[in-house]
Structure 1
Amino acid sequence: MTNQNQDAIAQIKQSISKQNLSYALSLTRNALEKTDEDEQINELLYMKSVIYRLSQSPKKALETLDQLLERRPDYGRAYQEKGYCYKQLGESKLSANSFYQATRFNQALLSAWRQLLDVYKKTNNQEALRLASHHVEYLQSLPAPVLGAYDLMYEGQLHKAEKLCRQFLQKNRHEPEAMMLLAEIGSQLKVYHDSEFLLESCVTLYPDNEKAANAYQALLNKLGKFAKSVAFAKQRLSRNSDNIGAKLALANGYVGIGESEKAISLFNEMLKNNNSLHGVWLSLGHALKAKGELKEAVSAYRQAAALQKDFGDAYWSLANTKTYKFEESDIALMREVESSPTTRLDDRIHLCFALGKALEDAKSFEESFFYYRQGNLLKKKTLSFDITRLEKAMDAQKKVFPEIRKKESVKGYPAKDPIFIVGLPRAGSTLLEQILASHSQIDGTMELHDILGIASSLSSHKEAYPYNLATLDDDYAYRLGKLYIEQTRVYRQDAPFFIDKMPNNFIHIGLIKKILPNAKIIDARRNPMDCCFSGFKQLFGDGQEFSYSLTDIGRYYKAYEKLMAHWNTVLPGEILTVQHEDVLDDLEGQVRRLLDFCGLEFEEACLTFHKTKRVIKTPSSEQVRQPIYRTGMGQWIPFESNLSELKDVLNVSSTC
């Protein structure tokens, strides 16, 4: 934001504080005409709504707030302002709901929580009153700078929040709330290495702080450090065997390291004590699905939905089995819940994607695309994603590795164990993994985060990643390669080779070959329209921010193609490209080609891959438990009239 813009906003705020509202409104309108910066437009619209409300024009304020929420549907302060507007209009129910929504998006809004306290006292809602009172007490106990930083973080102003939090910690070292907050900000900024260090320090300094322990546990699971998560959860349970948070983290950690039976047993134990825990039913469903017990998984998901009818994740989890078919009554219920003003944004997003899949199965393609588009639009508005920045990051990799590598000059860790499968999500990588994991010499694992973690740790050095790879000394490269092998050991069985199927690793092939020169790399390709549209229909658990816009996903695919062409130039013969359609046309020929590239003998089990029993956590888990089929080809064609943006980016001509 320019200094001129900052001055204009400061002047508007000053005018509001002096109750010079007509002048403030004039300044706001003028500033809105002169700016095209999203962050500033949002702030100006918010101030405009405040001016209207203070001018006793709540209906105009609500119209402005609707414009703002159309742009930023997760803007907590906008919902708080709606609460005050409805209160001014005497709409007590709408006011209460708006204050409630405000606290869901921004838990630091003390004013909204206090308004809810009054509501719960009047309605004699004792349970809600207890929870709200507890949260008000917690917020009031926070140091003012920490509360302010929380507010900034929830409103998406991460760098301002980080600055304020660091300033506080300079004077108050090891204050736990500030440490946890800075770790959360770091996680949102994807500086995971720093976040992990902060939380690990926090739980060491404050071993009885449950909030810190839960945050640390959640981050370990998010980063795929499941072995470390399991060990920490067991440590917590050794101090308190009834700790529900630790039990849940332990069960999720077990799923992560492939010990599904232990996870399922623990989930069932928790549900035996309290079968109304809808979140635990959902987690149980995930564990059962990963193990291949689809019927039982569906039952668990349906139980989660029955316990809380607006639980969007339960409906999306049913849709995300890819084989479940919704009844018309299910679709009607999902439509009703999705359109309700009381449904949380996150639940709406999940429901939109579930409805898209349900209506696609019913061949109602126009309505299906309406919900896919709505779900993607809502999700994208909650993200701070810029495809241009990602394209620049890929270009940076080319600059760091501009020449053909001399193999004998590479001194990384010489292990031949890892087989990396890279590419775009939904490109057929799970099928390739299942084929290879059916070989007696290869362990299948999952989408491991370890390379991304190593890249993140290198980003904290003085010289930014990937530019510091050019000066990475042999000893450090060796140690990083060895670290990767040691960290991933927990996901393996006893086979001499193992698969790392994190698709985003294609960006880091230079790093991989620097630290693991003997690693095998397989590039999973699929028809661009099939691949991109399949990604657009998918609500990912985390990451893959490029997938929530047809233009973004098309540009990402083009950037991926260019970077892979570069890697193939500088690393000739060291990357095997496998086209998904070729696997469908000639399974045995492509299986032999894959195994030959890996230096392994052909085994018949790779052709009957669907019979292989193993934990699979990706969306394609049920699809690869079936023989080869072609129904995934051309799924974009019924939606073609809505895909002009994508076709233009990919330079695809019309099928008509």
Structure 2
Amino acid sequence: MAATASFSEDAVVVSRREDARDKPELASIQAKIVAKQYREALSDLELILRDEPNNTDALYMSAVCRRYRREFDQALKQLKQLQALAPENGRAHQEEGHAYRDLGRPDQASRAYARACRFNPALVASWRSQFDILTRLRRHGEAAQAKAQLDYLERLPQPLVIVLDLVSQGKLLKAEDLCRKFLRKVPHNVEAMRLLADIGVRFGVLTDAEFLLESAHEFEPKNVRVHMDYIQVLRKRQKFAQALEQAGRLLETAPDHPQFQSIYAIECMQTGDYDTALGLLDKVLEQIPGDPVTLTSKGHAYKTCGQYDKAVASYRSALASQPLHGEAWYSLSNLKVYSFSDGELEAMNAQARNDDLPHADRVHLSFALGKAYEDRNDFETSFDYYAQGNRLKKALSTYDADKMTDELRDQQRVCTAELLSRGERAGHPANDPIFVVGLPRAGSTLLEQILSSHSRVDGTLELPNIPSLTQQLRRRGRGGSEPDYPDILAALSDEELRTFGRQFIDDTRIHRQGAPFFIDKMPNNFRHIGLIHLILPNAKIIDARRHPMACCFSGYKQLFAEGQEFTYDLADIGQYYRDYVELMDYWDEALPGKVLRVQYEEVVDDLETQVRRLLDYCGLDFEPACLSFHDTERSVRTPSSEQVRRPIYQSGLDYWRNYESWLDPLRKALGECV
């Protein structure tokens, strides 16, 4: 079959790549490809790849040349290498689709195009090719969906198509700049507002994103894309009541629409109405029997409200429907107290051998297999799978450990004792919040469960308010007229500090049930203790700490839903722990007596003494319920949800030693912390 897509369509995209402009040799090679001088281009590319075998631009261009020369085996081999280096590179999957299309293998082409569109929804060529193939295969429902997206892209102004493409490549600053320029010319373009809001969400600037989407929704109330994005940002801002209201309005427009039912169910779960949520998910399953995503969502709902057996049954049903659904395998393992049967282990290994397993499913499956072999005491195989899952996850990350070190040391440079002393007179006087900080998997959920078992304390969530405020301050700094965060802290007025403190109290009120105190257990807030003290000087701060090897390896074994990118490499997490200890030591020096440090091992060894110590620090009378915290009925949404519903145990304290042979990079990175 002759190629139907000209390279010029691909070449235009490559010419916009930031890296290509930095490398004149690639630009000249691209010119040869456009001129159909494929042999000459390949010769040049081979020279580059000899010195830089992982050069993603060169691999992509080489694969394109080989496809045009009908050297399909070599092209596909290079694309596999490229996808291993950049799993979410949409054009790599698009080129794979072109290769399979030209080979006359439409099913494989369609799957590749689907991946391309998932990773980069701006790829017109992939949507068009997918529509053509699906139509020929008489898969009319899927073809209609592809046609709808194709029509959307063809209606979208070209600058916004480029914005969507840049966002998909992770080039957010360029995307933001282009989108803002377009909005200055067309101020009320709803799609531009929606795309700019999406960029804001990716930057963590949720306040601006909410404003943009609220405005866009007012301009076009029937725009479903805008409405769904608006609901999502309200949820991210943890404005659950408003998100539920908007989801209800969306559902009213089409009460039997399964996607709208699912969205409303999710918002019901966020507000604790699990009965309604589960009923709606059942309605979705009536229309889409065996849908693995919906069945997995049901499992999550059951898990959160403590119905372990029903959660297991839902996850298993998802896998019976779709054995490739990696999230369901991982969700079973993430129950922590679940053990896979021999048959399930065999099924997982069979899926792991499947070369067509999507990247995200392979990540989930790798962590699940790590847990399965861990439960069988086959620690070497277990570690191999944990390491594989982390490598796959890290391939998608831009985390820079040295940059994080610099950011944390900036806190020490800026937040001097003199600056922090302003908090006593300038901040909001409320003493309601109890911040539990530290590293993930350090015991913060246990401390929260203990404290929230007290009649005067509300447990909440890992609240996003402090990180969102830091992003807001960073954006002010990027405007050029003010310093960047954290330097901007010294420039804030007393009134601003009080206002930020009051806003925190007001915005978090929705999560409370009326107790005088409440917990915010966002662990990474340790980075911002200076800011917290300036805006809420009477807040309590508890540092949940655990043995460094145990804490770091527990984080390494955990696949987090989002964030915590430092956990996907042993050296990175070791460096992060070391930086955390250094910063906490500084806070102790600059704010003596401000932070209560609670060592996980001491809680396990002598629960009552540590509980009384916690309560004394918080100014609370002792209540026996805090010792029987595992009997407290509340929704727990962290990976430790099942563990904190059981009595405390000592058997896991030194569990990391089973993996000690493979943890040298971690030990080295931790340095004197060990």
TM-score by length of 2: 0.91
CA–CA distance in 1 between the matches of 2:538 and 2:385? 45
CA–CA distance in 1 between the matches of 2:251 and 2:135? 37
Q: Which amino acid is 1:611 matched to?
A: D
CA–CA distance in 2 between the matches of 1:535 and 1:410? 39
What aligned pairs does 1:257-656 form with structure 2 within 5 A after superposition?
Answer: 257-268=271-282, 270-271=284-285, 275-403=289-417, 405-406=420-421, 409-462=424-477, 463=482, 464-651=484-671
Pair 44,408 (structure 1): closer, same or farther in 2 beyond 3 Å = closer
The answer as to whether partners of 1:413 and 1:516 remain within 8 angstroms in 2 is: yes
Q: Structure 1 residue 66: deviation in Å?
A: 2.4
CA–CA distance in 2 between the matches of 1:175 and 1:305? 43
The answer as to whether partners of 1:257 and 1:490 remain within 8 angstroms in 2 is: no
1:12 to 29, 34, 59: 29
The answer as to whether partners of 1:87 and 1:95 remain within 8 angstroms in 2 is: yes
The alignment-based identity, stated in percent, is 44
Q: Which amino acid is 1:24 matched to?
A: A
CA–CA distance in 1 between the matches of 2:253 and 2:220? 14
Q: Structure 1 residue 633: deviation in Å?
A: 1.7
CA–CA distance in 1 between the matches of 2:580 and 2:506? 29
Name the stretch that deviates more: 431-440 or 266-275: 266-275
CA–CA distance in 1 between the matches of 2:574 and 2:595? 23
2:270 to 246, 249, 256: 256
CA deviation map 1:45-95 (0-9, x unaligned):
211222232334333322322221221122121122223334444555544
Uncovered stretches (5+) of structure 1, i.e. residues with no partner: none
Pair 125,557 (structure 1): closer, same or farther in 2 beyond 3 Å = same
Q: Which amino acid is 1:249 matched to?
A: I
Name the stretch that deviates more: 269-278 or 541-550: 269-278
Q: Which amino acid is 1:152 matched to?
A: L
CA–CA distance in 2 between the matches of 1:609 and 1:445? 15
Uncovered stretches (5+) of structure 2, i.e. residues with no partner: 1-17
In structure 2, the residue corresponding to 1:592 is in which secondary structure?
helix
Name the stretch that deviates more: 638-647 or 172-181: 172-181
2:84 to 70, 74, 94: 70
CA deviation map 1:618-638 (0-9, x unaligned):
110110111110232222222
CA–CA distance in 1 between the matches of 2:438 and 2:355? 39
Name the stretch that deviates more: 375-384 or 15-24: 15-24
Q: Structure 1 residue 255: deviation in Å?
A: 2.7
CA–CA distance in 2 between the matches of 1:264 and 1:511? 40
Q: Structure 1 residue 594: deviation in Å?
A: 0.3
The answer as to whether partners of 1:526 and 1:579 remain within 8 angstroms in 2 is: yes
Q: Which amino acid is 2:38 matched to?
A: L
The answer as to whether partners of 1:97 and 1:342 remain within 8 angstroms in 2 is: no
CA–CA distance in 2 between the matches of 1:86 and 1:3? 26
**Structure 2 equivalent of residue 219 of structure 1:** 233
Q: Which amino acid is 2:161 matched to?
A: L
Pair 652,472 (structure 1): closer, same or farther in 2 beyond 3 Å = closer
CA–CA distance in 1 between the matches of 2:628 and 2:400? 42
CA–CA distance in 1 between the matches of 2:354 and 2:21? 41
Q: Which amino acid is 2:56 matched to?
A: N
Q: Structure 1 residue 591: deviation in Å?
A: 0.5
Pair 457,245 (structure 1): closer, same or farther in 2 beyond 3 Å = farther
Q: Structure 1 residue 418: deviation in Å?
A: 0.6
Question: What root-mean-square deviation, in Å, do the aligned CA atoms of Structure 1 and Structure 2 show?
Answer: 2.4
CA–CA distance in 2 between the matches of 1:46 and 1:4? 16
CA–CA distance in 2 between the matches of 1:94 and 1:247? 32
Q: Structure 1 residue 151: deviation in Å?
A: 2.5
Q: Which amino acid is 2:603 matched to?
A: V
Q: Structure 1 residue 417: deviation in Å?
A: 0.7
Pair 55,442 (structure 1): closer, same or farther in 2 beyond 3 Å = same
Q: Structure 1 residue 139: deviation in Å?
A: 2.5
Pair 152,651 (structure 1): closer, same or farther in 2 beyond 3 Å = same
1:61 to 75, 84, 89: 75
CA–CA distance in 2 between the matches of 1:279 and 1:92? 26
Name the stretch that deviates more: 612-621 or 235-244: 235-244
**Structure 1 equivalent of residue 169 of structure 2:** 155
TM-score by length of 1: 0.93
**Structure 2 equivalent of residue 24 of structure 1:** 41
CA–CA distance in 2 between the matches of 1:146 and 1:2? 21
Name the stretch that deviates more: 447-456 or 164-173: 164-173
Pair 141,349 (structure 1): closer, same or farther in 2 beyond 3 Å = same
CA–CA distance in 2 between the matches of 1:120 and 1:270? 25
CA–CA distance in 2 between the matches of 1:559 and 1:541? 23
The answer as to whether partners of 1:145 and 1:164 remain within 8 angstroms in 2 is: yes
Q: Structure 1 residue 568: deviation in Å?
A: 1.0
Q: Which amino acid is 1:416 matched to?
A: N
Name the stretch that deviates more: 398-407 or 477-486: 398-407
Q: Which amino acid is 1:175 matched to?
A: N
Q: Which amino acid is 1:425 matched to?
A: P
Name the stretch that deviates more: 165-174 or 288-297: 165-174
CA–CA distance in 2 between the matches of 1:407 and 1:114? 60
Name the stretch that deviates more: 560-569 or 55-64: 55-64
Q: Which amino acid is 1:214 matched to?
A: M
In structure 2, the residue corresponding to 1:421 is in which secondary structure?
strand
Q: How many equivalent pairs are there?
A: 651
Q: Structure 1 residue 265: deviation in Å?
A: 4.4
The answer as to whether partners of 1:196 and 1:216 remain within 8 angstroms in 2 is: yes
Q: Which amino acid is 1:98 matched to?
A: A
